[in-house]
Each structure stands twice: as C-alpha cells, then as structure tokens.
Structure 1
C-alpha cells in the first residue's frame, strides 16, 4: 500500500503529561527502519474484516463521529492510527491527536485542562485561550476553536485517545458537554464548523457512557466501531511474517494459551521471538526457563511487558474489591461471570467471556 505524506509528530511534554504515544511520521506499511520510539509498528497489519477500516473512512468523511470502543490491549489506538494514515494521503486533512490517557497530574482545574488540551491542538490556540476573557470556559473555548477552524483550508480531524478516562476527573462531564456542543455546531449552518471531524476511543461501554452523560452525550450521535476481538490464527501468522518470524504449530498454541491472541500481548511475544530467537525462553541469568513456565519467554527479559503488567497491577490495587475479584478469576477453581463484578476486568483486557470466562492469557497470572 502506498501512503502519502504523514502528519508531523506531536511530542509535547509539560507538568501534566508525558510524550504523546502516537507517531504518524512512520507509515504502518512498507519497508524502512522504525526510527520513532513511541510508535508500535508490530501491530501494523490490516485487521479482519478488511471492510472495517473502509466503512469507518466512509462514515467519517460523511461527518459522522467515530468511536473506537473495546478492552485495553485489543488495538484501538492502532486502528485509529491506520485510519489517520489513510485520511492523510496527499495532505487532504489537518490532523491532531490528543491522548487523554497521558494526562498525569491529578490536581487540574477545568481551565488548566482546557489549556493543556488546546496546546495539543495548536500552541497558538492555547495562547489565545490563556489571554481570553473566560467567564464561561466552554463558550470561550468554543469561540476560539471556531476561529481556529475558520483559518484552516483543509478539513480538520480531532482524534482523542482514551477519551473516557477524563471522567475520572471532576470536570469530566464538562469536557463531554464541550464536545457535544461542537458536534451540534457541525450539524448547523456554520461553514467553519463543517470542517470539523471527531474520532474518539474508549474502554468503557458506550451505552453506560450515554446514560452517565445524559442529557446530551457526544457518543449517541456517533458511529461505534467495536475493537474487541483477539487476533485470528491467520492474523497471528501474518504479524509473525511481517516480523520475520516463522511459527511452529507448538508456538502458535503457546501464544494462544499465554496471550489469548490478544493483539498487544501477541505483538510483544512475537517481537521477543524476533529479537531473542532460541534464547527467548531464558531468563536474565542465562538459565533456561522451566518447561512448565506459563510466562511469555522470561518476563525479566522484557521491560515493556513487565511495565505493562505493573501498570495493570497498580490500577487493580486502587480498588481492593476489584483486585480481589481478579484474584478469584486468576486462581483455581475460578468463578462464573458476573457483569457488575467482572466488567471492569474485561475493560482492562484481563478477562474474556468467550468461549469460557477466564483470564485473557495465562501471562496475567504474573500479576500477584
């Protein structure tokens, strides 16, 4: 697939955030070494069915907001990247990506957050917001955003990753009211707002979000794109081939057992196999892992996986009841699915319901 020029990478840091994790300067497809450390090229295969991306493109070009929804680790961010790359052929769109999941400072006011948000769209927009008279913050931001759109020639794509995490902030509902107000203007007669297109991703159930954000959630006028399926066996093989890894039947079975074919874990496992080869199942001391070891190779060899598991453990431990629920699923004899208890675990990508209720992959047993 031939790609046009890619959008400029946004790599902003300040008191409230880390580096933006999405880099559009390296295409998903084609030859060339990856030089962007924040980009994950191992996930760059076209997901099944192929019509998924095509349908999403058509909806967005018709100004229908898109919401990529699904558990953590199932490829929402990558699919959004794939969409943005396709939209950016020949620089037909102005594209900005903002990841709410990177907002780290807890004690933010709505004013500070909107300034942070505006900075990721354009530093000049943030400067204008700082200097504006702001008796009504949402109105001020909306007016400034309208002026920003008016100065643009191409249509504007605002892609917001992990949108639902803003609900953990006191001003979360205000932010969603702001987005809904912008979408209402898209449906009006304003020529400048007709340039505006919105793409979001969320781990939380869309129906619940709509109920929580009544009376005017932004999600109920968008098109949901579910991203909740593990890799098929064919996708695992395709991804392995792109990484130069030839899989045996036993290795395919191991990946399914240990990773549940969950895209993020599967990508890590295949990346390890490419980097370590026959040494993949050895620990840091050069000793071979036990044949009954349930880990993907040796966790000690993979800082990326270890950090991911540590982050999940920290999130679980913030809620004692949730961590206890996880341990009941993790340890024999397990338990049956209870929506109120286990949906948060499903949202984190830790459990699956089909074909049976269990941990997504046995590697999650490492969370103790």
Structure 2
C-alpha cells in the first residue's frame, strides 16, 4: 500500500471531478490524501506539509487553472525538492486537457518528467491503468504528439515579435492575471519607474539597470515593456528567466554557464560556438565572458539589451557569486578603451530579494552600479485609473474600501477588479469573503501561509509585527519585506495591507 498525495485546483471543473475520481479508484489499494479529507479545524498547513513529505507518489493535475495557482505551484515545488533530496515522492504529472508549455518555474520541475494526458471522462480508465503501471515501476507515457514542444527560455511573447506599447488597447477581461502582462495590455499602469527603465534601455551606450520590488509588484511586466522599448529603439534583445534553468544546470556551474551562452545564441539566431569556447583553458565565467564579447556582441551590428529575470534564483547557490561577479566585470568593461564592444551591451536585472544579503563583496555585485528602480504599491489614483479601465465596476466609495483593504497591492487590486468586472463575484461578496481560505484571495493567502510554515524565523518575525509593530531582526525584516508581507512607516513595521493583517492574525493565533 503506497501513500499518494493528489494536488489539484479546487473548486474548478474538470480538475475537481477528476481528482475525486482518482481518489475513489486509488483508495481501494492505497492510502490517498486529498485536501477535502481534512477535518474542520485541522491545522491544514502542517497537515499538507506532512502528507507531501510522507507520500510515495505525488499526482499533480496540470490545467490552465492549476498552473496559475500559487498554492498548487508551492506543493509541486516542495515535492520536487523532496524528490531531489531523497528520491521520493515520485512525481506523476497529469495534463488535464492542457496542451501548452508549462510556465516557469513549473517547467524546470516537470518538463523533464513523463506525463499522462486526460482529455475527458472517457480517458479515466486508461489514465488509471497508466498510473498503476507508473506506481509499480514503470513511467507515464509522456508522448509529445499533442503537446507543444518545450520552447527555449524566452518570455511568453517572443522578444522578436514585441512591439512598443500602444497608447490604448482593446479591453479583454479574460487576460491572464499571472506572470508578466502583455506589453500592449490596456490594464498596465505606468509608474515613475517606467520612464527610468525606458530611457536607460533606449540610450546609445550600454548601461546596467536593476528593477527591485517585492513579489507581484509588476517587475517582470516592467522588464517586458523595457525590452519592447529597446526593440522600438532598433536594438536587439535577449531574455532569460533564471527560474527556468533545470536542476542539473543549477547544481553544475559549468553546465549552467554553457546553457546560459547557448540560450543567448539561440535567441539571437547565432551559430552555436559554445563547444569551441569551452576548450579554452580558463574558468567557466571567463569562457562565458569571452563568448559574450567575442561571439555574441561582435556578431551584432546593433546594441544588445539583456534582460535577466528572477536573478535571486542564484543568490544562495555556490556559484552565484561567480555569476554576479561576471556581470559586474561586464559592466566595468564598458569603460575600457581596449574593448569598445562592451559598450553595446545593456543589462537589466530583476530581483525581489535584497542582493546585499548574499553578495558580501560589493566589488563583485552588479546591483550597486548603474541605475536602480524600486517598484512600490499602486497609489489611490492608480487604483482609480485601473478601475476606470475595467469599466468602473466599483463606485468611488467602494474604491476607497478596496484601497483600505489591499493598500494598492498591484496583483490583488487587479484580481479584485477583474472578479467584479467579469461578473465572477459581486463586490459585496468580495469584501465579505476577502480573508477566508476559500475566498477571492484564498489561493494567494494559503500560499503565503504555507511558505511561512517552512520558515519558523519568518513566521515568528511576522507574529512580532502583528503583535508589537516591530521586527528586531534586520535580516528577517528584509526577507519579510522582499516576500511582500510587511512594510515600514518610520520606526513602525506593519503588515503590507489590511487583508494580510486580518488573515495572519487569525492563522498565527495573535491576540
């Protein structure tokens, strides 16, 4: 009898129906956990964490709903980490009528693994046979005949096809709320940081720009618009999300630098010369630098803007310092009269974590040179502007109530307005259910609470903030702020918004 954990997006169909069909069939021979089996009042964070850690098999249902669920992504990440550390649970991905390439970071976790495809109830018996074979030593079929082949590490909209943002765009209420926004989205709110980034990437000589901000502030969307602006200025662009590199790359520095170079060449349509450069008797970061200057930059007749997203992925890796030291040397090389080719390169870095926590040698950091822009929450005026673009689903009084609840949180404000404007939820219901686990923001809130459960220091720090308005440990405060959980007003540290205060006071048992 094996222990089986089923991860899925609750309250949507066909995901929930398939999950319950799997439970009914598998529990005959196995011990199966699904979140609906938890008792009322049970501490669900601890239970889910324990069940994933004890599981022999982790079945994840992949659909357009689940791949954009923060909670589902967190469960998959934990299962992937446990499997890498000790070989179990075995991940069994099931695509639920889902034929698209997986978004990062799920692509790095699941793309190398065989999967099964379920199109409808008629496929359930066949799927159960495939799962049974996989659980007795086989693998899922994993054919690629009906699913898009893995794409190179590029943004969802190919950089080559990006166009500069239009003054206006058609209003589409079904636009995705997750990930980087389309560069022509009518719902993109321009902030002061936009002009700084646009000006930097448009100037003739190369520069280095760092975009900082907490989670879900719109950093990746700003990067995409910056790359679109660079294309409009007749520059070439390349984009890499470091979150998309797979586990072998992130554990083998030589492999990482090779794939970094290969990805750049692929995006720019250049011949692959990585093998030749890796014959040179020098370190990987030096080979990478020579590849950039001697092959990439010399082959281009126009400047290049390199956008690097999710760079905090490397902060705690052993070779992270070497990589960031390399970027710093590229920045410094622009000043050398002997290597003018480096003046063609601009670098835009995106991070949600304070780099100085991990890069102690300031001379090896690319984050304290060039320009830095920090994204903050929306202002009252910007939330009002977003409401108008959605067709004004909220009255002026309701706008004030929303701002008091969310404090201008970009992602949550967009989600709230979308739910009301699309008719998915009445505004009265949204406010009434806001801080509930199954409410409009439940997936987001449960994800944050689950993350805290695995980091006792941060959990204790947030409890201090809620009880006393302080966070004595500077390192903990910076991590909480980077996670988007707290903000500072003078000497007082507060939850980022009223929604977080309500939700975490109850879940962390703060009196």
Which residue does the alignment assign to 2:209?
66
The residue aligned with 2:422 is: 275
Where does 1:1-368 land on structure 2 (aligned, <5 Å)? 15=108, 23=157, 25=162, 28-29=165-166, 30-32=168-170, 39-40=180-181, 41=185, 44-47=188-191, 49=192, 52-60=193-201, 61=203, 62-89=205-232, 92-103=234-245, 105=247, 108-123=251-266, 127-130=272-275, 132-133=278-279, 135=281, 136-146=283-293, 147-189=295-337, 190-205=339-354, 208=357, 212-227=360-375, 229-276=376-423, 279=426, 282=429, 292-295=432-435, 300=438, 305-330=441-466, 333-338=467-472, 339-354=474-489, 357-364=493-500, 365-366=502-503, 368=507
Greater relative contact order: 1 or 2 (C-alpha under 8 angstroms, separation 6 or more)? 1
Q: Is the 8 A contact 2:241 2:311 kept in 1?
A: yes
My pick for the range that moved more, 79-88 or 236-245, is 79-88
Q: Distance in 2 between matches of 1:307 and 1:277?
A: 16
In 2, Cα distance between equivalents of 1:31 and 1:252 = 23
| Residues 142/326 of structure 1: CA separation in 2 closer, same or farther (3 Å cut) | same
> What secondary structure is seen at the aligned counterpart in 1 of 2:368?
helix
In structure 2, the partner of 1:5 is: none
Partners of 1:334 and 1:144 lie apart in 2 by 53
User: 1:273, CA displacement in angstroms?
Assistant: 1.7
Task: Describe the shift of the 1:36–1:174 C-alpha distance in structure 2 as closer, same or farther (beyond 3 A).
Answer: farther
- Number of the residue aligned with 2:79: none
Scaled by the length of structure 2, what TM-score is found?
0.58
Q: Secondary structure at the match of 1:77?
A: helix
Q: How many residues align?
A: 340
For 1:39 and 1:202, locate their aligned partners in 2 and report how far apart those are by CA, in whole Å: 14
The 8 Å contact of residues 390 and 421 in structure 2, kept in 1 or not, is answered as: yes
Relative distance call for 1:205 and 1:114 in structure 2 (3 A) is: same
Name the Cα RMSD after superposition: 3.4
Structure 2 distance, partners of 1:119, 1:324, is: 43
**Residue 230 to residue 108, structure 1, CA distance change in 2 (3 Å):** same
> TM-score, normalised to structure 1's length?
0.78
Q: How far apart are residue 201 of structure 1 and its match?
A: 1.7
Q: Secondary structure at the match of 2:363?
A: coil
Question: By how many angstroms is 1:235 displaced?
Answer: 0.5
Identify unmatched segments of 5+ residues in structure 1.
1-10, 283-288
Question: What's the secondary structure of 2:350's corresponding residue?
Answer: strand
Contact 1:183 1:218 in 2 (8 A): yes
**CA distance 1:349–1:245, shift in 2 (3 Å):** same
Are 1:160 and 1:201, in contact at CA under 8 Å, matched by a contact in 2? yes
> C-alpha deviations, 1:177-225, integer Å up to 9, x for none?
111222222222323222111111222335556x613433222322111
- 2:315 is paired with a residue whose SS is helix
Q: Secondary structure at the match of 2:247?
A: coil
How far apart are the structure 2 equivalents of 1:143 and 1:170? 22
CA contact (8 A) 2:215 2:482 kept: yes
Report the counterpart of residue 4 of structure 1 in structure 2. Answer: none
| Structure 1 residue 71: Cα displacement | 1.9
- Aligned residue for 1:154, secondary structure, equals coil
What's the CA shift for 1:86? 2.1
Structure 2 residue runs without a partner (length 5+): 1-102, 112-152
Deviation at 1:94, TM superposition (A): 0.8
Q: Is the 8 A contact 1:63 1:197 kept in 2?
A: yes
Q: CA separation in 2, counterparts of 1:362 and 1:216?
A: 39
State the shift of 1:255 in Å. Answer: 1.9
Q: Counterparts of 2:450 and 2:240 in 1: how far apart (Å)?
A: 24
In structure 2, the CA distance between the partners of 1:201 and 1:39, relative to structure 1 (3 Å rule), is closer
Shift, 1:362, TM fit: 3.3
Contact 1:237 1:247 in 2 (8 A): no
Q: Which has the larger radius of gyration?
A: 2
Shift of 1:104: 5.6
Is the 2:362–2:368 contact (alpha carbons within 8 Å) kept by the matching residues of 1? Answer: no
Deviation at 1:65, TM superposition (A): 0.8
